[in-house]
Amino acid sequence: MRKPMKSSVQDAHGGKMPPDARGKRKMNPKLIGRLLKLLMQDYPVMLVVILLCVVLNAVIGVLPAVFIENITDIILKGLDLARQAGGTVAWDAYKGEVFRTVGIMAGILVSGVFFSGLQARLIAIMTQGFLHKMRLRMFDKMQSLPIRYFDTNTHGDIMSHYTNDIDTLRQLISQSIPSIFQALITLIVLLGVMSYFSISLMAVVFVGVIAMTQVTKRVGGNSAKFFMRQQQSVGKVEGYIEEMMNGQKVVKVFCHEEAAKEGFDTVNEELFRNAESANKFANVFGPVMNNIGNILYVLTAFVGGLLITSGGSYNISVQNIIVSGTFAAPLAISVVASYLGMCKQFTGNVNNASQQINSIAMAMAGASRIFALLDQEPEVDNGYVTLVNCREENGQIIECAERTGKWAWKHPHNADGTVTYTLLRGDVVLDGVDFAYEEGKTVLHEVDVYAKPGQKVAFVGATGAGKTTITNLINRFYDIADGKIRYDGININKIKKADLRRSLGVVLQDTNLFTGTVMDNIRYGKLDATDEECINAAKLANAHSFIMRLPDGYNTQLTSNGANLSQGQRQLLSIARAAVADPPVMILDEATSSIDTRTELLVQQGMDALMKGRTVFVIAHRLSTVKNSDAIMVLDHGRIIERGNHEKLIAEKGTYYRLYTGAFELE
């Protein structure tokens, strides 16, 4: 009995989206800081070189405006000389200065091309490498998460973390952050140069900056809000599609196509509305910013013309103080000429930085979801008892490195520094176990189970009675609320989870086969198993016969969860996979429910051989498969209401009797 999976149209974070993903708060600068910290951690030298290139490119981008002022001055001096000489002046008088200035500017611009190319190449290398490492971080984290996370989040939404959310970081790192940083450096340099030439004209530029800031705040803010919501909607759509693809047969069987389309229309409509609003504001934002820049350009030219034609000392600049020692002086035409270029460059950089808001908003939504995954609490494992190979000498258990076929629990005692060994036998006891998936909603009540080594214990009852939950607790997929579970006399909370699960073999009702050969899928139960061990396991599970009839036998490639095999054949491989692990305890969760009667006889023979000498927990709806169990537990609403072997329970003529004879069914 599992906690129901959340609907795929719900959010992946427990129904509560991160504030940034809802788009109801401003973009969180802590997310940017965390990304930059990871970048610095992964690529410290490369990041410094990139930042240096960005600064150099920003400075180089401003220098042409300075050179325009110099060249204009040279030309104006030449015109003055021409007027003084009666309309003619020798080119040789100032051509050297012109060529020298142009040559210096050309050299600087060529160096700018080099630094731009280097920056682009390094950013491409760093971006792809960082995304690669982020996927590794996410996948490593995912492997450490408890089963609860996957039971409460749709698989399609989790997949969206690795595709859409990661892709938003690509745009952020490769374009948005470098563009904003370069624009910021350029603006700082431009402000310095502008104040040097004319503080008066710079005041006009600030009027345009204020207008741009207001547009960015209102139009850009709305655009960012809806882009963040769009990213969340993408995850919902992918989750719904993944759910419908997996359940397509069920959809067809129950003629649920129209309802499925209506459900998809709902999540797709939400995505459409958010995407439409986001792009509507984004499409308005660019032209408005460009036109403000154009108006500012004209306004600067107009004010500059007034200052020139006025003939008065109205131009306030740092240059005047340095060159002539006066605070204000007449405005030169060369200053206005260069200033117009700087004005265009200034508004262009403000516009460019503003255009990155949408990418940053999407990246913040993606980053918040990625970090929500990375910040999930990992599966807690405080166990210190481990499983080791051993041999017995003179009644003593000796730990050894080589495989002996015998295992023991290695139990260190911190109090006195001693170590004791307990042979792995498969003695499992549940004593007064209570459990709840959610606090206050107990699903198991005072469950007592005693499974001695080699015994077969069966759980029967209606769906939702708690049968699968009990086996999940033995595996420690979930931890109990009260009571004790002991394995060979050891509290399983003291056993490391990996060692605990290594001692348990599980065959589930839903089979999972992986892309690879048949041999690879059997070997999944024991990665160092030889081909001979895998073949023997297949024979034990009665799978060898059908495997040999496959096109390439054990080397037949399987894809799409073994779609080229029947359900019964997939189940046989699942049983063979458990057999090759050779564990002392087996958990069979409806292992034969999807197998036809004839195949069931073959599987049952293999399972009987597999169960020999092992402690076995069986969950079955077919009561005929549990008749030979040593103990049968009848569950109802999380309580064991009857226990005993088949003969005893039939003689009592209680719930099991009515179930077996078909006279009654648990609800």
Q: How many CB atoms lie within 10 A of CB 567?
A: 14
Whether the Cβ atoms of residue 368 and residue 18 lie closer than 8 Å to each other: yes
**Looking at residue 486, what is its pLDDT?**
94
0.85 cut: is pTM over it? no
**Per-residue model confidence (pLDDT) at position 9:** 36
Q: Identify the CATH class of 19-374.
A: mainly alpha
Question: Residue 623's pLDDT band (boundaries 50, 70, 90)?
Answer: confident
pLDDT given for residue 354 in this prediction: 74
Q: Is 475 helix (H, G, I), strand (E, B) or coil?
A: coil
In one-letter notation, the amino acid at residue 270 is E
| Phi then psi dihedrals of residue 491, to 5 deg | -60, 125
Range 407-430 average pLDDT = 90
Q: Give the C-alpha separation, 164 to 231, whole Å.
A: 8
> For residue 620, which of 637, 638, 600 has the smallest C-alpha distance?
600
Token pair belonging to 281: 């504001």
Which phi and psi (to 5°) does residue 325 adopt? 75, 10
Report helix, strand or coil for 587: strand
Q: Which residue has the higher pLDDT, 574 or 284?
A: 574
Higher-confidence residue of 522 and 195: namely 522
DSSP-derived letter for residue 467 is: H
Q: Are 604 and 635 in contact (CB under 8 A)?
A: no
Q: Give tens-digit pLDDT for 313-329.
A: 567 777 766 766 666 66
| Two structure tokens written together for 193 | 């140069």
Q: What average pLDDT does the segment 36-48 reach?
A: 91
Taking residue 91's Cβ as centre, other Cβ atoms within 10 Å add up to 9
DSSP string of 53-106, one letter each residue: HHHHHHHHHHHHHHHHHHHHHHHHHHHHHHHHTTS---GGGTHHHHHHHHHHHH
Give me the pLDDT at residue 128, please: 92
State which CATH number among 3.40.50.300, 1.10.540.10, 3.50.50.60, 3.40.50.150 fits the domain covering 453-481+499-661: 3.40.50.300
Query: What average pLDDT does the segment 448-467 reach?
Result: 87
- What is the per-residue pLDDT for 43? 92
DSSP string, 496-555: -HHHHHHTEEEE-SS----SEEHHHHHHTT-TT--HHHHHHHHHHTT-HHHHHTSTTGGG
Give the separation between CA 313 and CA 307, rounded to whole angstroms. 8
Rounded CA separation 628/143 (Å): 38
Q: Which tokens sit at 478? A: 């979930």
User: How is the chain split into domains, by residue range?
Assistant: 19-374, 453-481+499-661
Secondary structure (DSSP) of 288-354? HHHHHHHHHHHHHHHHHHHHHHH-SS-EE-HHHHHHTS-SEEPPPHHHHHHHHHHHHHHHHHHHHHH
The rounded distance, in Å, linking the Cα atoms of 186 and 54 is 10
Which pLDDT does position 534 carry in this prediction? 92
pLDDT tens for 124-138 read 999 999 999 999 999
